[in-house]
Amino acid sequence: MDSLSRRSLMRACAVTTLTLGSSNATARAAARTTARTAGPHRAALRPPVDTAALRAAIGDLSHPPATSAQLLVECRSTHWYGTAGAADLTSGRDVRPDDGFRAGSITKSLVATLVLRLWAQDRIDLDAPIGRYLPGLRLPPTFGRITATQLLNHTSGLPDHQGLPDLGTPEAVLQHRFDRWTPQQWVRTVTGSPLKFAPGTCQEYRGINYVLLALLLEKMTGRRYGDAIADRILRPLGLTRTLFPGDDPRLHGPHVHGYLRLTDGSLRDATVYNPSSSWGEGELVSTSADLFRFQQALFSGALLSPKAMDKLFTLPPATVRMLDGSPARYSMGLQTATVNGVTFWGKTGENYGYRTRMFATRDLTTRFLLSYTPTPLNTAEDMTNRVVTVLTA
């Protein structure tokens, strides 16, 4: 899961999918609209995107309660960027596309991309036991037989964490926000219980899967996983505002602040905290402009070979279901949802005070990057639903 949220938001946020909602939003948002070359013929036959509706979709900062929002869209010959609210409530400054924010589990898409690249180069066997690559972790025998494939698509069966602080209130979140964790400590919080299910038979979204994958990357590259991703993905794409902060609790340069609503109704700035609790799976700091560029490169095949692209967009077999019985929806680094007949692929991201949604159709004819700063610990998908409703109309 994402950052500290893996503990208290596991139930609500880890398996978030796109669902439609409705809103009477009328608030205005700053926006810029420019024309782009028309997409495929079928897209050209559809009416233009209603940019006024997009402005309203992100301009309603009451549903859910949020202090800011920004949205990048490419759809039906329209390239659109809009903002609402303020990057910082103290200064009241408008949000900009190069403002940094905590992108949460978008981290997993980058980790998965590099794992798939190494697999395509025959440097990683996706079906080999993970214990073969990470003997130093001394995983229990049943854990050591889990494969990289099962970690990538969340079918590992790893048990719940044990011994973590209760972060069920915003006050508790702030109290523990400077706690420091190592990846080895996180792994040990799941190794004291038996597997939930036989690996490969069910699907359950778990951040710990990607902690193990990040350790695998470090083993195979001989470098910190964030440095390996920077060398092979970030720098070649010119993603200069995207980074893996490690233990650094601060956001440097221009950035969007995240806030939490306390139980007494007051707002507290929650921007600064130690992201080590999200190492490997949710620590990413990025910008809307950088993530939009990464999405373009990933979906267009610029980062992966054709056989790796097939892995990226392949769900587990139909016999594999989520624990609640619903169909599997996570592939290797992405998740999928179909709304109004339009199938989106992408990734959600959660951190306290931050929420990111990066989705596109596989052919990139419709895509968006939504980043906003909700203030409650748990919030509905109202804003995402409004955006997707406009784009699929």
- Give residues with Cβ within 8 angstroms of 210, minimum separation 6: 107, 108, 111, 112, 151, 280, 281
Q: Give the C-alpha separation, 360 to 334, whole Å.
A: 11
Least confident window among 25-39, 83-97, 167-181: 25-39
* pLDDT reading at 376 higher than 90: yes
Tokens standing for residue 37: 């070359």
Cα within 13 Å of Cα(273), Cβ side: 30
Q: What is the DSSP string of 221-234?
A: HSS-HHHHHIIIII
Give the separation between CA 377 and CA 353, rounded to whole angstroms: 8
Per-residue model confidence (pLDDT) at position 76:
84
Q: What is the pLDDT of residue 28?
A: 30
Q: What angle do CA 280, 282, 285 make, to 5 degrees?
A: 105
- The pLDDT of residue 77: 87
Beta-sheet pairing, 321-322 with 202-203: parallel
Q: Is the pLDDT of residue 151 over 70?
A: yes
Q: What's the pTM? A: 0.90
- Which of 14-23, 165-174, 214-223, 294-303 has the weakest average pLDDT? 14-23
Which is more confident, 61 or 32?
61
State the Cα–Cα distance between residues 25 and 31, nearest whole angstrom.
16
How is residue 60 written in tokens? Answer: 């309603």
Which comes out higher in pLDDT, residue 33 or 244?
A: 244
pLDDT at 45: 62
SS3 219: helix
Instruction: Note the Cα 169 to chain centre separation in Å.
Output: 23
* Cross-strand pairs, 75: 78, 366
Confidence of residue 356 (pLDDT cuts 50, 70, 90): very high
Given pLDDT bands bounded at 50, 70 and 90, which one contains residue 47? confident
Alpha helices in 170-315 (DSSP H): 170-175, 183-188, 208-221, 225-229, 235-237, 288-300, 306-312
The two three-digit tokens of residue 281, written as one number:
């799976």
User: In terms of C-beta density within 10 A (0-12 exposed, 13-18 middle, 19 or more buried), how is residue 121 classed?
Assistant: exposed
Element of type H or E holding 105: none
User: Sign of the CA dihedral 62, 65, 70, 72?
Assistant: negative
Q: What is the largest CA-CA distance in the chain?
A: 58
Is the model's pLDDT at 106 over the cut of 50? yes
* Count of the separate structural domains present in the chain: 1
- What are the DSSP calls for 183-205, one per residue? HHHHHHTTTTS--SS-TTSEE--
What pLDDT, in 10s, does the model give residues 271-322? 999 999 999 999 999 999 999 999 999 999 999 999 999 999 999 999 999 9
pLDDT band (50, 70, 90) for residue 3: very low
pLDDT value at position 48? 86
Q: Which of 312, 331, 121 is nearest to 232 (CA)?
A: 121
Task: Mean pLDDT check: name the lowest of 27-41, 83-97, 349-363.
Answer: 27-41
| φ/ψ of residue 385, rounded to 5 | -60, -40
Find the domain containing 55 and state its range.
Answer: 5-391
H-run or E-run covering 287: none
Which is nearest to 299 in space by CA: 343, 246, 253, 356?
Answer: 343
Work out the average pLDDT over 120-135: 97
**Percent of the chain's residues with pLDDT above 70:** 89
Q: What average pLDDT does the segment 126-151 reach?
A: 96
Residue 41 belongs to domain with CATH number? 3.40.710.10
- Does residue 25 have a pLDDT over 60? no
